[in-house]
């Protein structure tokens, strides 16, 4: 038991090894999922699993698409400025 | 249910808000919204734990990252205990893990603030009889 506790404690006292790579941007996806679920939970008067899931997926998709469009606009703008 | 006095109503709102701060989803639990409370608790606790896992407890830094710390404190007063542990600087964290961990834990705190405000608003509507139930 103490070994397991020590292992769990150790995972929370040393940071993970995440490099500054394009793949590290994928860490935004779980965060967007959490934001979608919590926001929709506060908006729905009655929680039904299927309904909450559907609403959360729609919001998740909207946020991701909007962020992708924003990123593309910023990349285009940076390209125009630096070209 | 008998209507509460003005003082009783304000006290009830305060209790709902404090319960939501002490445990994510606690405010909704006080309003007997068990499903809301479970979803909120699971989502916020998981987001906060993910942030701690990525960046370690060193991302809770009441000395060098005060604005982030205030947002993290919205998760629960228990974060202040972690802040006391890391105040000595024994858990340094730099670079991308530090950034991602701080963003996760701070967003979790701000989401809990949203839930606290939501629970207090629902409690107010029910107290004034304005809730359409």
Residue A15 falls inside a structural domain: no
Asked whether the predicted pLDDT for residue B133 surpasses 60, the reply is no
In a domain, A4, yes or no: no
Q: Nearest by CB to A41, which of B40, B50, B56? A: B40
Tokens in use for B105?
Answer: 């834990």
A57 within some domain: yes
Q: What is the residue-averaged pLDDT of chain B?
A: 91
Contacts of B20 (CB under 8 A, 6+ apart): B26, B27, B28, B30, B112, B115, B116, B119, B120
**What are A32-67's pLDDT values in tens digits?**
999 999 999 999 999 999 999 999 999 999 999 999
Tell me whether residues B98 and A12 touch, CB distance under 8 A: no
Q: Is residue A40 part of a domain?
A: yes
Q: What is the pLDDT of residues B82-111, one digit of tens each?
A: 898 888 888 888 888 899 999 999 999 999
Number of domains in chain A: 1
Q: Tell whether A70 lies on the interface with B, counting CB pairs under 8 A.
A: no
Judge whether A36 lies within some domain. Answer: yes
Quick one: pLDDT at residue B1? 56
pTM comes to 0.90
Which residue range(s) make up the domain with A41? 26-83
Alpha-carbon gap, residue B96 to A26, rounded angstroms: 12
The domain spans of chain B are: 6-128
């Amino acid at each position: 038991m103490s070994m397991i506790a020590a292992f769990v404690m150790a995972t929370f006292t040393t940071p993970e090894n995440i490099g500054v790579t394009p793949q590290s941007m994928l860490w935004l996806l779980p965060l967007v999922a959490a934001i979608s679920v919590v926001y929709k939970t506060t908006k729905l008067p009655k929680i039904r699993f299927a309904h909450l899931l559907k609403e959360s997926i729609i919001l998740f998709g909207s946020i991701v698409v909007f962020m992708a469009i924003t990123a593309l606009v910023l990349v285009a703008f940076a390209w125009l400025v630096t070209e | 249910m008998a209507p509460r006095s003005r003082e009783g109503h304000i006290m009830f709102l305060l209790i709902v808000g404090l319960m939501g701060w002490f445990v994510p989803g606690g405010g909704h639990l006080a309003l007997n919204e068990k499903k809301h409370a479970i979803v909120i608790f699971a989502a916020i606790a998981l987001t906060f734990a993910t942030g701690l896992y990525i960046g370690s407890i060193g991302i809770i830094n009441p000395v060098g990252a005060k604005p982030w710390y205030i947002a993290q404190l919205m998760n629960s007063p228990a974060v202040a205990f972690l802040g006391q542990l890391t105040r000595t600087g024994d858990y340094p964290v730099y670079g991308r893990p530090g950034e991602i961990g701080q963003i996760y834990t701070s967003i979790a705190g701000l989401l809990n603030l949203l839930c606290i405000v939501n629970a207090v608003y629902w409690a107010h509507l029910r107290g004034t009889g304005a809730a359409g139930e």
